[in-house]
Structure 1
């Protein structure tokens, strides 16, 4: 077997894997998580069940791959948008991150539903899931945005509640304390609130709850982000 034959087989296998994942995402869009079935995909592709299992041994393996691909893609886009804005402009970096998330979600609503919607029934992600790595990157990225804003934002936080490290997941706390040692526990709470504001209206839009109410969901999303910056005492540099 020569290198050309090996390369052709690898290309054909990659193409088939991509087709399997594309059909799975369409089934998700049409019927929800329960509609993802290796046997259904095999029938649509004209393959035997045994043949498709040579690509993905189980439905959970396919879902793990889908989540990893989707989550990694959106975090890559958000990080690239953030990093295109100078660190001296923390408000601009938050806006860039949030708009990148929305641009992706509007273009790929099925992907949004897969990682931010209802859990796939019966699915158990493995400990080494690439989606978990991407989720940690997303969380760390948001914490980093809050940490960069903290010198200004701390003066705008509620004073009637205190937080301790024990209020949060120990694994998250370990990462925050290592990467952002000057951020206090209330900074994690603020990160969760920022996440909620970035994703709240977006989830309503993706699930179809805003379309009958406003012609431009992007407009209210923009206003929400501006209000978010104001609540942090931030504004765009320049």
Structure 2
């Protein structure tokens, strides 16, 4: 937990940063990342243009803060669901996938901010990788209970190599599934997680961008079918 600012000046700074981000999120919801305008934000929050740069050095700096917040909020939403999962890995998978769809559907502008580059030329900082892994961590635990089948064996092999070569991935396995990278289940857990992530983003992206409109089905029903296929593939009970 982040410590509360200790002085009036620090508290004022944090409150002003929060106000700036709130306005930016509203602009984001109304017109996408391109609509985030520092001059308009400065006027609304009661600052001069130069004064605003004491809080965020440029638009990319502000977008980075919003990206980090979005990942953290998604991880919190998934974490709350993960704290009360049933014993059945299959049922748990459905609940986690549904929680992610619900989070994205409730704030599509925030989801789209973290799905790809928000504006041309923007590069997210390296720490967003860890934040994304926190969102997916509970899926690692679920798929660690899966069985390796022929259809996913090649992917699981590549995932095992990845875990053996990347300490951050090995730490991800240890934190969420209590698995060492050389554990036979490591590749299975990572393969299932990456496949679930791909299915989630495919369905959620199409849903929040309105691509399913008029197609006669709900994204939740489609996601249920996709998670059932994954559960069958990994023989999740």
Structure 2 residue aligned with 1:68: 68
SS across alignment from 2:66:
helix
CA RMSD of aligned residues (A): 2.8
Structure 1: stretches of 5+ with no match in the other structure: 1-5
Q: Are the equivalent residues in 2 in contact too, given 1:211–1:217 (CA < 8 A)?
A: no
Structure 2: stretches of 5+ with no match in the other structure: 1-6
**Worse-matched range after superposition: 77-86 or 41-50:** 41-50
The Cα offsets for residues 170-200 of structure 1, whole Å up to 9 and x where unpaired, read as 3554335644222243542332112112232
Q: Are the equivalent residues in 2 in contact too, given 1:95–1:225 (CA < 8 A)?
A: yes
Structure 2 residue aligned with 1:223: 225
State how many pairs are aligned. 222
The Cα offsets for residues 4-56 of structure 1, whole Å up to 9 and x where unpaired, read as xx65x666544432332122223333333233232232234443112212222
Distance 1:74 1:25 in 2: 15
SS across alignment from 2:212:
coil
SS across alignment from 1:125:
coil
Structure 2 residue aligned with 1:3: none
The Cα offsets for residues 86-142 of structure 1, whole Å up to 9 and x where unpaired, read as 4x3212221221111011111000110011144432323344x4x343223124332
The Cα offsets for residues 62-101 of structure 1, whole Å up to 9 and x where unpaired, read as 1221111111111111022022014x32122212211110
**Worse-matched range after superposition: 21-30 or 199-208:** 21-30
Distance 1:206 1:215 in 2: 14
Structure 2 residue aligned with 1:174: 170
Structure 1 residue aligned with 2:133: 136
Distance 1:53 1:70 in 2: 22
Distance 2:21 2:35 in 1: 13
SS across alignment from 1:225:
helix
Q: Are the equivalent residues in 2 in contact too, given 1:197–1:228 (CA < 8 A)?
A: no
Structure 1 residue aligned with 2:51: 51
